[in-house]
Structure formats: structure tokens, C-alpha cells
Amino acid sequence: MRIIPAIDIIEGKCVRLAKGDYATKKIYNESPLEVAKAFEDHGIEYLHLVDLDGAKSKHIVNYKVLETLSSKTNLKIDFGGGLKSDKDLTIAFESGASQITGGSIAVKSPETFVSWIKAYGSEKIILGADVKGIHIATDGWLETSNQTLFEFVKEYKSKDVEYVICTDISKDGMLEGPAFELYKNLLEQVGVKLIASGGISKFEELYELQTLGCEGVIIGKAIYENRIALKQLEKFILS
């Protein structure tokens, strides 16, 4: 199972939110590069980079941060937040993203998202399934759609999506543990490469997610609040 730390960006700084609420913003580091280098120094190969300004303003904003991290580290970066147009996508890939995550776009403009899968392939385009209750949420989680998680993922699996990042918003940034039951059901009902995201609070949970069959796990606040040490992640990667 891949270990994928998260860096969320507002105004070029490394922040975390609770349940996606922008009012709960806490700045952890003024320099995302410093954070990314620390990850790399502990054997981490992947990074989930989220442009929270982009998610709110519905177009890519913090591509300069992406450019810096991709040119000054060897991390394979998946980038998301506000990617709504072909132009946004081009900017993200030209700025060094290895993969992009599309969430709101997959709900609101399915034909655009499907065209991206066709153009770039399922290795490069990840489906972001953000869930409030059982429904898919969009636009920095400020809106909720009528689609349920299982319908949504099944539909896109039939359109060649391989990778899915699933975030239970009620868990995100709360440090109370991830949505094990939700992931178990999703893996049983729809076989995809599932990347768990949201709520990771302690190291032991990684083994539980691995046992469930998750392909990757995104860890954010647990690292920044020192609940999980980078040394532990290094050990997990090497084991």
C-alpha cells in the first residue's frame, strides 16, 4: 500500500482544515518545499497536493507551488483542487504533476472528465470521490450533489477509471480514524484501486487499511500534529 502524505495549499502556504471548512484553517508551514523535502528524506515517493484556493475559485491557482515541488524534489505528485478546464489540466501537467485528481468536474461536467481519461489515460487521471453522508460533495465541499458514492464510482469504473481517492468529509481533519466500513463496502461492491483519505489518526490504522485492500492512503493532519512520525512511515514503506 502506497503512503501518500498531503500538502494542502492556501496562499502558497501549507495548511490543514477540519471537515473542509475554510474557517478552520491552520497554517503549519510557510514553505511547502521544506515539508515536501522532509517527506522525501524519509523515503516517501508520493505526494497529494491540493490547491484549496483553486477548489474555491474553480480554476487552478497555486500551480507555482506545484512547479517548485516537482522541480526541486523527486516526489510523484498528484494534484487536485479547482481543475475545471482543459487549460487547467495542461497547466497542471506542464507544472510537473504526475497525476491529477478530478472531483467536482466529474460530477458537473462528466463529458470533460471522460475526455481527460481518453486523452491522458487512467494512470494519470484519478477520480476524487468526496462523500457527505452517502452523497458526493463538490467545489471545496461547499455543495452536495444527488449522486451516491457507489453509483458515482460504478459509473466511472465503466468509463475506465482505475484510481479513486475517497474522502469521507465528516472524518477529514478530525483525527478520529478513517471510514473503514465505507471503504470495505466500496471495495466489495466496486473493485477499484482505492486510495483512502480523511481521518487517519494513528499508525496502526495503516495496517487496517492495507488489510482491507486499499491501494494507497493519504495522510495529512496526523503527520502535522505529530500523531504519526515520518520515521514510522519510513519503516512501513521499507517493511
Which CATH number characterizes residue 141's domain? 3.20.20.70
Which phi and psi angles does 20 have, rounded to 5°? 75, 10
Taking phi over 0 as left and psi of -120 to 50 as alpha, with beta for the rest, 76 belongs to beta
Q: What is the mean pLDDT of residues 57-77?
A: 97
pTM, rounded to two decimals: 0.96
Q: Which of 8, 51, 53, 88 is flagged as catalytic?
A: 8
> Per residue in 163-197, pLDDT tens?
999 999 999 999 999 999 999 999 999 999 999 99
Q: How many domains does the chain have?
A: 1
Is 8 noted as a catalytic residue in this protein?
yes
If pLDDT is split at 50, 70 and 90, which confidence band does 70 have? very high
Based on the residue annotation, tell me whether 51 is a catalytic residue of this protein: no
pLDDT one-digit tens code per residue, 102-153:
999 999 999 999 999 999 999 999 999 999 988 999 876 778 889 999 999 9
Q: What pLDDT, on a 0 to 100 scale, did the predictor assign at position 140?
A: 65
Which one from 51, 78, 88, 130 is the annotated catalytic residue? Answer: 130
For 152-164, what is the mean pLDDT? Answer: 98
**Whole domain around residue 158: which residue ranges?**
2-238
| Burial 130-152, CB ≥16 within 10 A → b, else e | bbbeeebbbbbbeebbebebeeb
